Chain A
Amino acid sequence: MILTGFFGWIGRIISEYSRQILLGIGRTLLLSLVGTVVGFIIACLFSYIKTKKEAGIVGKILKGFVNGYVTIIRGTPMMVQALIFYYSFKMLGVNWDPLTAGLFTVSVNTTAYLTEVLRGGIESVDEGQYEAARSIGMSGFKSMLFIVYPQAIKNSMASIGNEFIVNIKDTSVLNVIGVIEVYNACLMAGNKYYKVVEAMCIAAVIYLIMTLTSSYLLKRLELRIGSPVKEITSSN
C-alpha cells in the first residue's frame, strides 16, 4: 500500500514534470562540463604561474595572486561564492541570469581545484624532463608546453575526471541563486504535492546515473590517453 503510493507519486511527478527535469539534467551537464573545461584551461595557466621557478617581479606578483585565489576559493563553500558573485555583479550593473552566474561560479571554483591538481601533476614529472628540454634550447615556456604539460595532464587525468563528477553533484548548490538544475527541478515538483522524499529519490537516481555514466566514459578516455604501455621493470 505504502509502496504503491510511493511509486505512484514518483510516476506522477516524472510524467508531470518530465520537461523541467530533462531541462534540469541539461543544465546540470552544461554547468559541470563548461565548469570543468573552462576551469581546466585557466588552471593550465595558473599552475604554470604557480610552478614557474625563475620568476621575476611580475611573476612573483602573479604567483601571489594565484596562491591567494586558490586559498580563498578552496576555503569557502561554492554556495556562498555563488551568492556573492550573483548579487555583487548585479549591484555593479551586470544584468545576468542565474544560469550564466552559475556557469561563472562553477568555472571559478573548478579553476582553483584543478590548479592544485595540475601543480601536483607537474611536480610528479621528473625534473630531468624539463632540464633535457632546456638543454636542447627550448625556452621555459616551450619546455612546459611540449614536454612537461602533456605528461602532467596525463598523470592528472583521474583527478580531472573526478572533478567533473564532483561538479555534477555540487552544482546542486546553485539552486540558491535560482538555477533550475536537477535538484531544483525535482524539488519544485516535490514541493507542489509535499512529496519531498519521492522527488529527492528521483533526483538521487538521476545523479547516480549521470555520475556512473561519466566515470565509465572517463575511464575509457583515460585508457585511451594513457595508452598503457608495459614498462620494463628494470630501468636498464
Chain B
Amino acid sequence: MILEIKNLKKKFDNQEVLKDVSLTVDKGEVICVLGSSGSGKSTLLRCINLLNNYDDGEILFNGKNILDANVNELRSKIGMVFQSFNLFNNLNVLKNCMVGQTKVLKKNKEEARAKALETLELVGMSDFINKNVKQLSGGQKQRVAIARSLCMEPDIILFDEPTSALDPEMVGEVLNVIKKVKETGVTMIIVTHEMQFAKEVSSRVLFMNDGVILEDSPTKEFFTNPKNDRTKEFLKRYLDNKVND
C-alpha cells in the first residue's frame, strides 16, 4: 500500500469540499477519479501533495503521515500534472525537465540531461528540446509537463484534469502518452472527464459526488454494474451523449 487516506475532511471557508474521504492505493495501480465539477476531485489530489492543507483526517504515504514528512522531499516523490500545464516559462523544454533534478535531487547536469532526454523521448518530444515553451501547442506542453514530472522518478503521479484545457484534437496525443507512462509501472491517480480513456487505462475507478466517494470499484465493474444510483445516472448521461454523437 503506497497511499492511505483516512477520513479526510476539508472546508473552504464554510463550504465542505471533502466530507470524510477514505481511500487506499496500492503500488502500480492506475486509478481514475470521475465525477462532476465541484465534487472535490481536484482538492483531493491537491491534499495528497499538500498543495492544499486539510482540516481533519490523515494521509499516509508509504506508511508515514505526510504531515510529519519534509514537505519538499514528499513532493519530489509525488508528481503532479496540472490542467493548465504550468511549464516554467523562463526555461526551454529540456531545462524544464532538468531543473527539478539539479535543484531538488542534486543530480549533476549530465545525469539530469540524460534522464530528461530519456523521458522526453518517452513522451515523443525529443525534437523540441531546445524550444521555448511558449512555442509549443497545448498538447505538446502537457506532454513536456508529464516528462518533467517523470524526471523526478516519483512513486506516484497525480493528474489533475490533464486534458481539460486542450483542443479536442490534442486530447488523444496526451492520453496516449499517459498510457505509455502506465507501462513504466508508476502508480497514477487521474482526475478526468474522459470516460473512454478511464475505461481503457485504469484498473479502478472512483466516482466522487459532493465531497464523498460514492463508488470505488474495479473499472470493469464500474462501467457494467455500478452499485450507486447517482453513478448509474452519471453513466447513463455519458452513454446517452455518446449515442447522440
Contact = CB atoms under 8 A, between A and B. Distances in A.
Interface of A: 126, 128-129, 131-139, 142, 146-147, 150-151, 154, 227, 229-232, 234-236
B76 A136 contact: yes
B89 interface: yes
Interface of B: 49, 51, 72-77, 79-80, 82, 84-91, 99-100, 103-105, 132, 134-139, 145, 148-149, 152, 165-167, 170
B132 A229 contact: yes
A27 B45 CA distance: 58
A95 to B, nearest CB: 45
A222 to B, nearest CB: 15
B72 A137 contact: yes
B139 A236 contact: yes
A134 B51 contact: yes
B107 to A, nearest CB: 13
Contacts of B136: 232
Contacts of B134: 229, 231-232
A137 B73 contact: yes
A115 to B, nearest CB: 21
B89 A232 contact: no
Contacts of B132: 227, 229
A135 to B, nearest CB: 4
Nearest to A139: B72
A154 B170 CA distance: 31
Nearest to B136: A232
24 contacts: A128-B82, A128-B86, A129-B86, A131-B82, A132-B86, A132-B87, A135-B49, A136-B76, A136-B99, A136-B104, A136-B152, A137-B73, A137-B76, A137-B77, A137-B100, A137-B104, A137-B105, A138-B104, A142-B103, A146-B99, A147-B88, A147-B91, A229-B134, A236-B139
Nearest to B70: A137
